[in-house]
């Protein structure tokens, strides 16, 4: 949904009613209904088609709008398991009292979060959450949002608050790209884990609700500039600590005590001194089991929030000590000057309580049975009566529990709260106790109902009275819708100078024992002019009756003044400060007693403290954009899918739903100032695009007139192409604001979206063209650089190759020359023998074959072969005897000599290693001595192939590559 909805001052609803409008946009005035029978006729006509009633997802579409038609529509939707319905600017939620599968799943969250127009989807609590989230994204004042969940006890407020927190923890953390996923999951987990702890220590099972919040809380979900969840903080209001020591019939204490009893291990119970089967006076209805009795879930939440094992042991020991205090009873003393003694069965409980709280048992008993009075500078000890001892015992338990709860809230805030510099906006979720009316109502119910009166006044002032008054001030001819204003009731409770609270505080500050009958007489005397208070003079118990917006409630006066004083004896505080339990020392460190004599008349009472905290809450609500969700309880017995008409109609009338529907259906729920309207929608016309820069105005009146003309011209241009039957019912131009229906807003957003799409397309085209050009230039530059680098590298490599080739060639030449010289030295190292006789000329045939003529030698010639040796040509005229010694050498010689195979004609001896080798280049005389050295040549040790044909005498096979 577009962020234009952020500029609304009241919520969103589909509206079709009328008021007269000036200028080109006219709305017909709604005529008054002529007769009651006409209304009855319309009512009957509307209700005849009951099969279609469940299709009305917005009650502003109901015609006529009466409590009967609204009730019938809600009943029809409830029967088909549809539990959310829009009521103009409010969402109505019916409690099904049973789990509904897939109604709050992650897929449903993503569906509403990703929807272009969530308001067009089926009504759901996620629509309210998403609208608030998009308002923060739009950053239109007031940016901060408040989700007010109201309704009676048992209507489903706590569950709705859970769903809202789960939605934001999922949506506002799933797309985070700044933080690591582990950090996001840690924040989400800690924010959600605050719920089980707060509910375990602050909720209880009452007559009307199994999980009733016995305190109010306002949870601020902190968002950074990217609208991501970075932390949260919790503010609490008026914990009902009296429930620790006093529970009504069929009600229970706080959940945490029952979780300890049912979920702890035997070892833990032994440590807490809670033996099997022990009965605790402050733990009634232990046999009743509810869904919230989940001890492990609470412990896991503590671990995730950073409460270590040792601190958990201290917490549970304190809670176990409180339970043991409940079993401590006193015997009345016959003489007021004597101390009250413990009952026999209470002595063990007293000892256990002292051990669990880590205080001396004697001092604990003394603090409960003796009070210290100050007379000037002297202190006097006075024994307490049995009733006073019980009151001091209850006061000790309530004080410890209240301070422990306050410490838990502080610890949770320290664990989940982000640094002030890391977040800039917040979405607040308000979950307060619902309106209560029991058989016996005291100060707690008075404060709770007072808080509901303040929230109802905020709703009335924000949506009903302010909206209608603004219509008149902006020039709309408006027929006022009557609604119930609770200002007189608030004046009765908190007015100045005389009110119920002021008289109660005055009575509490007097240093005397209060008398209920006397206080009732004073209330009657001072407040008799207010019609919202009354008395039953024939009642035995003094009380007064207040007419709240939701009905009349009788308040018992007895004990109200003492509860308002909330005295805590200083000796009890001193005892707890000296306890060996580190947690008790921490939460009671530097804590002064509330009845310190130095405070005198300036003592802060319970009512004053609660009123101040509630005023700070209302200030937050007034500075944020509120979103109201009205939870309705379908039946008083909390039965699944059971709809009681009487129960629902009372709630509808009490919270003003019908009046809200009337005003939303007949009026304009969306109101935008001219300047903001032009800044947002001026781009629809090109000549107004310059106005989007937000230039400041000089003359306010002239600027308002010009802006009004510009707005009318802009609206005329938008509407001229539309074919609505009544265009005048869509928009109205007031004196300073534009009043729109949801249909007109969607039309403007559609036009604006088209222009923004065109602009975005043009920007994308220019950007892509720029990107391509820049990429092309970079490619050309890269190509030139790469070519230059490659050419330089090639030249460098070629030069290196040339230098290497020169070195190799030079080295090769030197090496071959060295080998050649070595070979020549090998062959020429023997001196030629001096011929004793002249050698005859060679035969031409032998000369051609390169052989040596041996015919002049009469004796057979002994040829001693060289391994790769010398080849002798065939000499058929010479008879040489061959004696082969050594198989391999014989084969080597035979392969080297091309001689006819004549057995016994040749003699070859290969013992050159023993006799030496001499050169046979000259004609030998007698036996030829060959001098042999190991050849340094590459082929010196290689054997010739078998197929090699060697011809020519004196051929050196070393120079031939085999």
* Residue of 199, 292, 436, 444 marked active site: 436
Find tokens 């001890």 and name the residue: 295
**724 φ, ψ to 5°?**
-70, 150
Active site residue 855: no
Instruction: State yes or no: is 470 an active-site residue.
Output: no
d(CA 319, CA 256): 9
Binding site: residue ranges?
151-158
Catalytic residue chosen out of the listed positions 195, 212, 242, 892:
212
Catalytic choice (60, 66, 160, 209): 209
Give the Cβ contact number of residue 79 at 10 Å: 12
- Can you give the C-alpha Rg of the chain in angstroms? 53
**Angle between the 309-326 and 255-263 helix axes, to the nearest 10 degrees?**
110
Distance CA 642, CA 620 (A): 37
Q: How many CA atoms lie within 13 A of 371 on its CB side?
A: 18
For residues 78 and 645, what is the distance between their CA atoms, to the nearest angstrom? Answer: 12
713: left (phi over 0), alpha (psi -120 to 50) or beta: alpha
DSSP 54: G
Q: Where do runs of H (alpha helix) occur along 81-180?
A: 106-114, 125-138, 157-174
Q: How many CB atoms lie within 10 A of CB 169?
A: 21
| 474 is known as an active-site residue | no
In angstroms, the CA 483 to CA 151 distance is 18
Annotated active-site residue 892? The verdict is no
Hey, is 883 helix, strand or coil?
A: coil
Element (H, E) at 406: helix 386-416
CA distances from 256 to 202, 205, 320, 666, 913 (A): 9, 11, 11, 49, 110
Residue 154: active-site member: yes
Q: Of residues 5, 86, 135, 158, which has the active-site annotation? A: 158
> Quick check: 650 and 644 in contact, CB under 8 A?
no
Q: CA 733, CA 671: separation in Å to the nearest integer?
A: 10
Among candidate residues 88, 154, 202, 869, the one labeled active-site is 154
209 is catalytic: yes
Q: Which tokens belong to 566?
A: 């909330």
Spatial neighbors of 474 by CB under 8 A, at least 6 apart, are: 732, 734, 735, 736, 737, 739
- Whether 492 and 530 have beta carbons less than 8 Å apart is answered as yes
For residues 328 and 465, give the distance between their C-alpha atoms in angstroms, rounded to a whole number: 55
In which region does residue 600 sit, left (phi positive, over 0), alpha (psi from -120 to 50) or beta (all else)? left
Token digits of residue 746? 């969607």
Residues annotated within a binding site for ATP:
151-158
436 a catalytic residue: yes
Sequence-separated (6 or more) residues with CB below 8 Å from residue 155: 93, 95, 434, 631, 632, 633, 651
Q: Choosing from 2, 5, 69, 153, which is the catalytic residue?
A: 153
| 821 catalytic per annotation | no
Where is 82: in which H helix or E strand?
Answer: none
CA gap 436, 629 in Å, rounded: 18
Q: Which helix (H) or strand (E) holds 605?
A: none
Active site residues: 153-154, 158, 209, 212-213, 434, 436
């Amino acid at each position: 949904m577009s962020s234009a909805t952020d500029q609304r001052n009241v919520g969103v609803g589909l509206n079709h009613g009328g008021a007269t409008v000036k200028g080109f946009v006219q709305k017909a005035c709604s005529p008054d209904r002529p007769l009651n029978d006409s209304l009855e006729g319309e009512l009957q006509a509307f209700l005849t088609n009951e099969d279609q009633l469940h299709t009305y997802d917005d009650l502003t579409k109901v015609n006529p709008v009466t409590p009967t038609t609204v009730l019938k529509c809600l009943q029809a939707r409830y029967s088909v398991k549809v539990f959310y319905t829009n009521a103009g600017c409010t969402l109505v939620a019916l409690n099904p009292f049973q789990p509904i599968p897939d109604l709050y799943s992650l897929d449903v969250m993503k569906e509403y979060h990703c929807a272009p127009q969530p308001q067009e989807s089926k009504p759901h609590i996620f629509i309210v959450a998403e609208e608030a989230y998009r308002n923060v994204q739009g950053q239109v004042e007031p940016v901060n949002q408040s989700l007010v969940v109201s309704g009676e006890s048992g209507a489903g407020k706590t569950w709705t608050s859970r769903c809202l927190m789960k939605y934001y923890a999922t949506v506002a953390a799933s797309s985070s790209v700044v933080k690591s996923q582990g950090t996001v999951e840690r924040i989400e987990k800690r924010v959600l884990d605050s719920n089980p702890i707060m509910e375990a220590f602050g909720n209880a099972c009452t007559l009307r609700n199994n999980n009733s919040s016995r305190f109010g809380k306002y949870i601020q979900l902190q968002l950074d500039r990217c609208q991501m969840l970075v932390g949260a903080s919790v503010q609490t209001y008026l914990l009902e600590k009296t429930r620790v020591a006093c529970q009504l019939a069929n009600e229970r204490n706080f959940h945490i005590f029952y979780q300890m009893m049912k979920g702890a291990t035997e070892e833990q119970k032994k440590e807490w001194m809670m033996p099997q089967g022990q009965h605790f006076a402050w733990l009634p209805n232990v046999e009743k089991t509810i869904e919230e009795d989940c001890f492990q879930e609470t412990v896991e939440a503590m671990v995730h929030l950073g409460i270590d094992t040792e601190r958990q042991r201290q917490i549970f020991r304190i809670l176990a000590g409180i339970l043991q205090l409940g079993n401590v009873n006193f015997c009345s003393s016959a003489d007021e000057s004597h101390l009250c003694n413990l009952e026999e069965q209470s002595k063990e409980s007293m000892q256990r309580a002292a051990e669990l709280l880590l205080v001396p048992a004697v001092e604990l008993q003394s603090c409960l049975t003796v009070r210290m009075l100050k007379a000037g500078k002297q202190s006097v000890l006075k024994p307490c009566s049995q009733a006073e001892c019980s009151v001091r015992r209850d006061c000790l338990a309530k004080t410890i529990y209240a301070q422990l709860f306050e410490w838990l809230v502080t610890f949770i805030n320290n664990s989940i709260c982000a640094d002030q510099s890391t977040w800039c906006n917040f979405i607040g979720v308000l979950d307060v106790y619902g309106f209560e009316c029991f058989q016996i109502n005291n100060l707690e119910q008075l404060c709770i109902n007072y808080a509901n009166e303040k929230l109802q006044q905020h709703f009335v002032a924000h949506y009903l009275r302010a909206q209608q008054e603004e219509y008149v001030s902006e020039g709309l001819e408006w027929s006022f819708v009557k609604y119930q204003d609770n200002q007189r009731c608030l004046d009765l409770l908190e007015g100045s100078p005389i009110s119920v609270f002021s008289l109660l505080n005055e009575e509490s500050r007097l240093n005397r024992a209060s008398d209920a009958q006397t206080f009732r007489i004073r209330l009657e005397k001072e407040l008799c002019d207010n019609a919202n208070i009354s008395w039953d003079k024939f009642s035995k118990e003094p009380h007064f009756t207040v007419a709240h917006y939701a009905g009349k409630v009788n308040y018992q006066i007895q004990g109200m003044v003492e509860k308002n004083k909330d005295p805590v004896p200083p000796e009890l505080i001193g005892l707890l400060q000296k306890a060996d339990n580190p947690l008790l020392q921490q939460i009671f460190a530097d804590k002064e007693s509330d009845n310190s004599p130095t405070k005198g008349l300036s003592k802060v009472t319970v009512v004053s403290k609660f009123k101040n905290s509630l005023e700070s809450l209302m200030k937050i609500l007034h500075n944020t954009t509120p979103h109201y969700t009205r939870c309705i309880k379908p039946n008083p017995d909390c039965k699944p899918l059971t709809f009681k008409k009487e129960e629902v109609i009372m709630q509808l009338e009490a919270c003003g739903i019908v009046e809200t529907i009337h005003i939303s259906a007949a009026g304009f729920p969306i109101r935008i100032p001219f300047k903001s309207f032009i800044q947002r929608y001026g781009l629809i016309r090109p000549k107004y695009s310059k106005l989007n820069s937000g230039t400041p105005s000089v003359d306010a009146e002239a600027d308002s007139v010009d802006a009004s003309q510009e707005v009318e011209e802009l609206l005329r241009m938008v509407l001229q192409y539309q074919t609505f039957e009544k265009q005048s019912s869509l928009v109205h131009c007031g004196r300073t604001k534009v009043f729109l229906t949801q249909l007109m807003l969607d039309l403007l957003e559609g036009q604006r979206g088209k222009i923004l799409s065109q602009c975005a397309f043009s920007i994308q085209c220019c950007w892509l063209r720029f990107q391509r050009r820049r990429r092309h230039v970079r490619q050309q530059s890269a190509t030139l650089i790469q070519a230059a680098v490659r050419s330089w590298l090639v030249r460098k490599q070629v030069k290196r190759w040339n230098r290497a080739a020169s070195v190799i060639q030079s080295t090769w030449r030197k090496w071959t020359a060295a080998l050649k010289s070595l070979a020549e030295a090998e062959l020429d190292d023997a001196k030629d023998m001096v011929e004793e006789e002249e050698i005859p000329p060679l035969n031409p045939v032998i000369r051609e074959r390169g052989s040596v003529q041996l015919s002049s030698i009469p004796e057979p010639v002994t040829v001693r072969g060289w391994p790769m040796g010398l080849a002798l040509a065939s000499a058929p005229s010479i008879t040489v005897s061959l004696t082969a010694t050594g198989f391999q050498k014989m084969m080597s010689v035979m392969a080297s000599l091309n001689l006819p195979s004549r057995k016994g004609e040749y003699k070859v001896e290969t013992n050159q290693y023993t006799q030496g080798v001499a050169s046979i280049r000259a004609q030998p005389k007698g036996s030829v001595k060959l001098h042999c050295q190991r050849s340094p040549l590459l082929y010196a040790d290689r054997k010739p192939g078998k197929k090699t044909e060697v011809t020519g005498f004196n051929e050196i096979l070393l120079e031939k590559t085999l």
